[in-house]
Structure 1
Amino acid sequence: MTKFLRLLVGLCFALMLVPHTSAADAREYVLGSGDVIRVTVFQNPDLTVETRVTENGSITYPLIGGVNVGGLTLQATEKLIADKLRDGGFVLKPQVNVLLLQIRGNQVSVLGLVNRPGRYPLEIANTRVSDMLATAGGAAIGGADVVTLVGTRNGEPFRVEIDIPSLFDPDGIKADIPVQGGDILYIHRAPVFYIYGEVNRPGSFRLERGMTVMQALAQGGGITLRGTDKRLRLHRRNASGVVETVEPDMFMTLQADDVVFVRESLF
């Protein structure tokens, strides 16, 4: 009985050490057009080739000709070339190694108000929006809380706006979608409001979510001794593009590009 238990414990421990290949494979880099690879075959130096993946995702390899490697991991590419060499009778037991030299395919552009705009490679599969924003240094000062993703899915144009703070909500993983090669992420400037008149710091300020007129006055440094919170004026452009003027209360919610005017006290 003791021997059986030892065998059982040893088996369980061994299973714990077995890697979950499906999860690992999902994170491996996949080849795309423009990538440069080196292919070597053990004890066959004549089959060493450095080549670039073409636009249609293929390479040309000695003896076997065109090989479609686009969308394959390095391990899958090694197996494909080895199978073709063996099935063609060129190498009896080929041991193929594929090394990624340059990443040119599968790049994502991150533009707008981010700290490090540019083009970044997808080094692993299943890279998500939050991963690319982190790579670009996150949103810069003055950047909006929304990122726009533009790309192609299933051959059709694809566009979605993602609320960045919501990515960290309990259900945020649903909005943190994977990106693909050729995608563009763009962060526009944050919405602003304007305040002038009898305030201590007139000017334009970032519009926070749900900001009220009272909070806007605080952002502007408060009302001066000559000003009054009575008879405030708010100028807002409606859906038709016409600027309307209203007399707001302190708890009215502001919208982007609203202009608040604080009058001078009459007494």
Structure 2
Amino acid sequence: MGTFGVSCLCLSPAIASATLPTDSLQRETTSSRAEDPYTLGAGDQIRIDIFKLTQYSGENTVLVDGTLNLPVVGSVYIRGMTLEQAASAIAAQYSQRRILRSPIVTVSLVAPRPVKIGVSGEVNHPGSYTLERQSGQVPTLTQILEEAGGIRQSADLRRVQLRRLQPSGAEEVIVVDLWQFLQTGDARYNVTLRDGDAIVVPTAKDMSLAESSQVAAASFAADADQSINIAVVGEVFRPGPYTVTGTARTAEAGVPGGTTMLGTAPTVTRAIQVAGGITPTADVRKVQIQRRTRTGLEQNFTVDLWQLLRAGDLNQDAILQDGDTVLVPTVTNLDPEEAAQIAAASFSPDTIRINVVGEVVQPGVVEVPPNTPLNQALLAAGGFNNRAEQTVLLVRLNPNGSVSQQQVDVDFTQGIDSDANPALRNNDVIVVKRSGIAAISDALGTATDPLTRFFTLFSIPLNFFRLF
């Protein structure tokens, strides 16, 4: 937890600010505003100096009830007063009781009390925080947001509220535009805090992809090294809940990607990589993010990962926050040329696994890139042997649990075609049958095998007599 301090009698002079209509309970100001003088409270350590009367001077601590216990006059209430007001109140007590005539009193702050701040709304760790002050520093709005774990992506930085209780009992609401602080660096928007302040970070009505990365890069944003819990559903190889960090990669379809801590915020594409990558039927133009806010309402928006691939629009790779759900819908009509580009994307798996059985040189499981046509998978298995039929059977397990079969007449000069050379999916099985000639040859071999064994047995005695 950070520490802060103060070495002056009051904060900065007034700064012009717009004031909205007021009522009996609160008033609201916007953006940068005047910094009010420091007011005293329980725990403050002060020094009282009365001119030429050292016996009445010395250090004192404000008690829990907001009073000071002073020589001769006893209890003096100073809670909520500025240093100048406290000096006047002390002088009035000595004068009214006819102990001193026109005393000259000076009050200075020796050690300010800890600042207790409440933080709620769109921060990672809402709650109450106590900040110690020292070395002449006063805690600011952005510092308390850092203490609270940083702001969430769902935060509305333009309407951050600072609620401050006045000595009269009324509540003052100061609305701070932290977005202007990010854009201009104007420190007046980063207001200083007082003991008892309450910070409320509201939920943004709309999600801005263009602003998301700037918010994530702010010093008071969530720590990029922290993992988040999200869910990925739809057209990915391994839908479900995941813990994601800023870096993830998957090598094989359906294999959850590994993660490392590199100080990068978790994004949509990294979440998809952790879930094993997209399937060939994914609609990357309409990836949906469903976000639960602190108010309990959902903040939903859509990203177009095709624009990320075609135009390099990094804003489409939205930054995620804890509790998000990424939904990858099913495409209705996929262009084969687009499928090839999507298969080469970083959020697609590097390889898919195809099982080639039957009359090929090297039958078994082969690993090929996504969207690989059937011809290339056969070549990866060494191609046909001299017993193979040119027509193969493609067996596919569909997402609904059914099994489909397709006869394909292989032509190694054919490009990708849904009928003549279909693109493969993970776990497809290619069955290469025997040719008719090979089948007849095998049948004849089977039929003549008993005769062959008989003549072999009959020839053994003859070979024995030849020895003599």
- With structure 1 as the length reference, what TM-score do the two structures score? 0.52
How far off is 1:69 after superposition?
A: 0.3
CA distance in 2, matches of 1:105, 1:40: 24
Q: How far apart, in 1, do the equivalents of 2:170 and 2:42 lie?
A: 19
1:23 paired to 2:32: no
> What displacement does 1:258 show?
1.6
Check whether the contact 1:35–1:52 (CA below 8 A) recurs between aligned residues.
Answer: yes
Q: Could you give the per-residue CA deviations for residues 202-243 of structure 1, whole angstroms, max 9, x where no partner exists?
A: 95569xxxxxxxx935874699998314479989799xxxxx
Per the TM alignment, residue 107 of structure 1 is displaced from its structure 2 partner at its CA by: 3.0
Equivalent residues in 2 for 1:1-267, closer than 5 Å: 23=14, 27-104=36-113, 106-108=115-117, 113=124, 119-120=130-131, 131-134=140-143, 137=146, 143-145=151-153, 146=155, 165=179, 181-183=195-197, 185=199, 193-195=230-232, 197-198=236-237, 216-217=268-269, 220=272, 227-230=279-282, 257-260=324-327, 265=425
Mapped partners of 1:181, 1:69: distance in 2: 15
SS at match of 2:152: strand
For 1:82 and 1:157, how far apart are their aligned partners in 2? 30
Partner amino acid, structure 2, of 1:23: A
The AA in structure 2 aligned to 1:54 is L
DSSP 3-state at the match of 2:324: coil
What is the rounded CA distance, in whole Å, between the counterparts of 1:82 and 1:235 in structure 2? 64
Q: Distance in 1 between matches of 2:61 and 2:199?
A: 27
SS of the aligned residue for 1:59 comes to: strand
Report the AA paired with residue 195 of structure 1.
Answer: V
Whether the 8 Å CA contact 1:32–1:106 is kept in 2: the answer is: no
User: 1 or 2, which has the higher strand percentage?
Assistant: 1
Distance 1:261 1:140 in 2: 30
* Amino acid paired to 2:100: V
Between 1 and 2, higher relative CO (CA 8 Å, sep ≥ 6) is seen in 1
Identity of aligned residues (%): 18
User: Which of structures 1 and 2 has the bigger CA Rg?
Assistant: 2
Aligned length: 221
For 2:97 and 2:62, the matched residues in 1 are separated by 22
CA drift at 1:178: 8.4
CA gap 1:204/1:234 in 2 versus in 1, 3 angstroms = farther
Q: Distance in 2 between matches of 1:151 and 1:227?
A: 50
CA shift, 1:106, in A, is 4.8
- CA positional deviation for 1:70: 0.3
8 A contact 2:114–2:130 mirrored in 1: no
Residue 22 (structure 1) shift: 7.8
The 3 A distance-change label for structure 1 pair 65 and 105 is: farther
CA contact (8 A) 1:167 1:176 kept: yes
**Amino acid aligned to 1:144:** R
Alpha-carbon spacing, 1:189–1:137, altered in 2? closer, same or farther (3 Å): closer
What CA distance in whole angstroms lies between the structure 2 residues aligned with 1:41 and 1:93?
11
- In structure 2, the CA distance between the partners of 1:121 and 1:151, relative to structure 1 (3 Å rule), is farther
The CA distance in 1 between the partners of 2:94 and 2:141, in whole Å, is 38
Instruction: Answer whether contact 1:36 1:52 (CA < 8 A) is retained.
Output: yes
In structure 1, distance between residues paired with 2:13 and 2:107: 20
Q: 2:80 and 2:229 mapped to 1: Cα distance?
A: 43
Cα offset, 1:135, TM superposition? 5.6
Gaps of 5+ in 2: 1-11, 16-33, 184-188, 202-220, 246-266, 293-302, 307-317, 330-398, 400-423, 429-468
Residue 133 of structure 1: SS of its match in structure 2? helix
Question: Scaled by the length of structure 2, what TM-score is found?
Answer: 0.34
